Structure 1
């Protein structure tokens, strides 16, 4: 879908720093959602 040169640059420079950020963001979002859900369940 991209030229090989672009793909190699993306994998070499962007991918290693991008992946931990995405994992942290998803983990934080899930944890926040679970926390809010549990807190809402306690208040009833």
Structure 2
């Protein structure tokens, strides 16, 4: 599965308006792989390359 959730409540998100957590689980043979990635809140200090 792949889910986009609120990092504090783990409630599903329809859109990213602040911080978000991407949660992933997948099977590879007999092994279940689980990982997550925190997407931080964008700041005004970030500049386009």
TM class by shorter-chain length?
Answer: under 0.3
TM-score by length of 1: 0.20
Q: Which has the higher contact order (CA 8 A, sep 6+)?
A: 2
More helix, by proportion: 1
TM-score by length of 2: 0.19
More strand, by proportion: 2
